[in-house]
């Protein structure tokens, strides 16, 4: 296992965020910063079988940054879709458009509005 001390997105750069939030989100006026890169770049020479994302509304950007990896390696995906109403529809559609072989399942894991996950896999 390899650990990378950075965030993921659809580009390489430095992103800012607020450090005093329980649900940290990128913010242009944040008081902390971190380096980000795409999964396609970070993992270009690695075998990837599973991707899990719960990154406070940045899932779509991170998926865009993993497009080549998802298309070529078809890893199983567990992507949170509850951070915005757009994600609930857009993320499953985006995954299916990347590779129509993906089977999509959505599961809700709590008694309140959070913790809804889109699972995607390709049958072997």
Contact between residue 10 and residue 64 where contact means Cβ atoms under 8 Å apart = yes
Within the chain, residue ranges assigned H as helices are 39-42, 59-64, 67-73, 85-98
Domain containing residue 91: CATH number: 3.40.50.150
pLDDT of residue 22: 65
Query: Ramachandran region of residue 29, left (φ > 0), alpha (ψ -120 to 50) or beta?
Result: alpha
The answer to whether position 2 is within a domain reads: no
Mean pLDDT of the chain, nearest integer: 91
- Split into its structural domains, the chain has a count of 1
Range of the domain at 43: 7-121
pLDDT of residue 122: 97
For 65-117, how does the pLDDT look when each residue is reduced to its tens digit (9 = 90+)?
999 999 999 999 999 999 999 999 999 999 999 999 999 999 999 888 789 99
For 13-48, how does the pLDDT look when each residue is reduced to its tens digit (9 = 90+)?
998 887 776 666 677 777 888 899 999 999 999 999
């Amino acid at each position: 296992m390899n650990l990378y001390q950075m965030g993921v997105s659809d580009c390489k750069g430095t992103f800012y965020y607020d450090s005093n939030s329980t649900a940290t989100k990128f913010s242009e006026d944040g008081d902390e910063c971190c380096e980000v890169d795409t999964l396609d770049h970070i993992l270009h020479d690695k075998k990837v079988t599973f991707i899990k994302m719960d990154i406070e509304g940045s899932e779509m950007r991170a998926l865009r940054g993993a497009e080549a990896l998802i298309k070529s390696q078809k890893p199983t995906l567990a992507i949170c879709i509850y951070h915005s109403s757009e994600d609930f529809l857009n993320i499953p559609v985006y995954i299916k458009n990347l590779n129509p072989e993906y089977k999509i399942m959505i599961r809700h894991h709590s008694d309140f509005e959070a913790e809804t996950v889109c699972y995607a896999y390709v049958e072997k």
